[in-house]
Structure 1
Amino acid sequence: MAKDRKPDAGRSGGGAGRSGGAPGRGGSGARPVSTTKGGAGARPSGRGRTRPPTQVVTQQRPWGLIAAAVAVVVFAAAAITYAVVQVRQADAERIDAIDEIAGIESFDYAAGQEHVTTPVEYDQSPPVGGPHDGNWADCTGTVYDVDVRHENAVHSLEHGAVWIAYNPDEVSDEDVERLSGLVDGISGRLMSPYEGLDAAVSLQSWNHQLKVDSADDPRIEQFADFLTFNGDVEGHYPEIGASCENPDFAASPLVAGDASTPVGPSDAPTTPTMGAEGTTESTTE
């Protein structure tokens, strides 16, 4: 009779290890089964911590600021250029001497002309000096719409004023407006129409006259700017510092051909009259 075989201890332990039970129950010699492919040192399975994707930031050029800076530079350059041109133009038009005004005529009426109440027959038309009325025409930038009495206007010239006269038949309303802009509100100037004037516009100061054919002639402004209250021109006007204010005359001006009538303030002649004859010295080039 055959004897029963004893179970092999090694195989029975291994068999237990092969069963579907938990690891380690198959005996002390059983080796734990790794749950990952990487062995004992591998990370456990499942979703692990990952590095976020790197964000690439493209630096944008500040085109708006660049365009604004360029615009500022261009504007500044244009402004500087304009200013330089204006300064050069002003220098070119500036008058430093009476003979720089082409076509101006100079006369020789001495200071202290006689005050009269009778009409005066002047050698120049409009007059630039000689005997005159004791009351002066207001010359505080006054624009008259009547041909003011000439004897009163000459007294204004004696006080340093510039008188702009125009032929109403030779200039337009726009011309009158343009001329008014050189007079209105500027002390030492007056303006009026002048019947029978042999030019479109005539400018008078004591001992000086300029006649032009157009109201936009640049010499008009040159004459007015240089000779208004200019006491530095030799023989220009006798009564430096005298007033141009006569509001009564401005309100009720005497007209050419009117009889002498006391209107507003008066002053006495400074010295005895030296006569009313004048010598024309034209500087026309």
Structure 2
Amino acid sequence: MSMSTQSGGGSRRPSATKAVAGGKPNLAKDTDTSESETPAKKTAASKKATASKKAAPASKSTTAGKSTTASKSAAAAKRTTPAKKGARPATKSGLTGGRKPITPVRVSQGRNWGPVVLFAVTILVAVGIIGFAGYKVWDSGLTVSDRVGRIDGVSNFRKTDKALVKGQQHKAGPLTYAQNPPVAGPHNPDWMNCMGDVYDAPIAKEHAVHALEHGAVWLVYNPSKVDAAGVEKLKAKISGKEYSFMSPMPDLDSAVSLQAWGFQLKVNDVNDKRIDEFIKVTRKNATVEAGAVCSGGITETGTTPRDLQSDQPAGQQGGNGTTGG
């Protein structure tokens, strides 16, 4: 049996990589019956290829449609995008964010308060000076009775007994007084020395009243009601101060009593502030003999008056030969 070989001109099996319509390779597997395909199979293959060609353009059309839609959306978005970065989109009412636009607040520069404060201080100082000057004028017009009347508890005999406070009533010998201690009235021609003298024993009332007539303040205390410490406090108010003097009085009905010509204040506490007030208001002021002196008077203690000038007219000489009233 003779065998024949394939020659160059024999038939070949179709290539598995032959391109089909549409640019896609034919991936169908080789079969032994490829050369003997039936017309029916060829027809089916032809229909499939035709369908592939139609599907490819359709796919491109769909893609192109989507691209066109996206482009339109992007263009619309650009038109609605605010021109400025970070700005809010305008609403139908034309207002930003649905709220009324806020009017910017102007920040004014701070006022220079220096001149204002200086002017105010100047006005206050001026008012203070004018007010003080007015007060001094008003105060200078007050009488000693007006000033003493502002001290609580003071007895003013200048208002209640004008005959009592009449000056120049000189009489020799022991005298009787309605008040204890006496505040005015007849008195010995010689006055008690009142240059801040502190007497450690009772003194004659007749000399003391004459010192009051000269404008002195007489501080009296009850030794049984004021202890040693209290006496020292009272001394500090009198000692060394002209137109004042101090002495004990055992029969005094209060702890302390202060007398000026026609005025009297009695207290039971050496720390009473009215003591200082009384001394300040009446010392040198409560007098009916302007310019009368407190020096050159009687310095001896004892309740019996010394009639050193009983043979001379009243008011001619003082206790030590000095002129007095």
Judge same fold: TM > 0.5, yes or no: yes
Cα 1:166–1:182, aligned 2, differ >3 Å: closer, same or farther?
same
Q: Which residue of 2 aligns with 1:116?
A: 171
Correspondence for 1:99 among 149, 163, 172: 149
Q: For residues 164-199 of structure 1, give each alpha carbon's deviation from its aligned partner in whole angstroms, at most 9, with x where no partner exists.
A: 000011101111100000100001100000120000
Whether contact under 8 Å (2:199, 2:301) holds in the other structure is no
Gaps of 5+ in 2: 1-138, 310-318
1:48-59 matches, within 5 Å, as none
Whether contact under 8 Å (1:168, 1:193) holds in the other structure is yes
Percent identical among aligned pairs is 39
Shift of residue 261, structure 1, vs aligned partner: 4.0
Whether contact under 8 Å (2:213, 2:289) holds in the other structure is yes
Correspondence for 2:223 among 168, 172, 175: 168
Q: For residues 13-41 of structure 1, give each alpha carbon's deviation from its aligned partner in whole angstroms, at most 9, with x where no partner exists.
A: xxxxxxxxxxxxxxxxxxxxxxxxxxxxx
**TM-score, reference length from structure 1:** 0.55
Q: Which residue of 2 aligns with 1:141?
A: 196
Say yes or no: does 1:241 pair with 2:297.
no
**TM-score, reference length from structure 2:** 0.49
Say yes or no: does 1:187 pair with 2:242.
yes
More helix by share: 2
Q: For residues 103-151 of structure 1, give each alpha carbon's deviation from its aligned partner in whole angstroms, at most 9, with x where no partner exists.
A: 0001133333321112111010000001101110000000000111000
Shift of residue 258, structure 1, vs aligned partner: 4.8
What is the number of residues matched between the two proteins?
168
1:270-281 matches, within 5 Å, as none
CA distance in 2, matches of 1:193, 1:179: 11
Superposition misfits of 4+ residues, deviation over 4 angstroms: 266-269
Whether contact under 8 Å (2:206, 2:305) holds in the other structure is no
CA distance in 1, matches of 2:169, 2:155: 23
Q: CA RMSD in A?
A: 2.1
Whether contact under 8 Å (2:217, 2:260) holds in the other structure is yes
Shift of residue 226, structure 1, vs aligned partner: 0.9
CA distance in 2, matches of 1:258, 1:242: 21
Which structure would you say has the larger Rg? 2
CA distance in 2, matches of 1:184, 1:159: 18
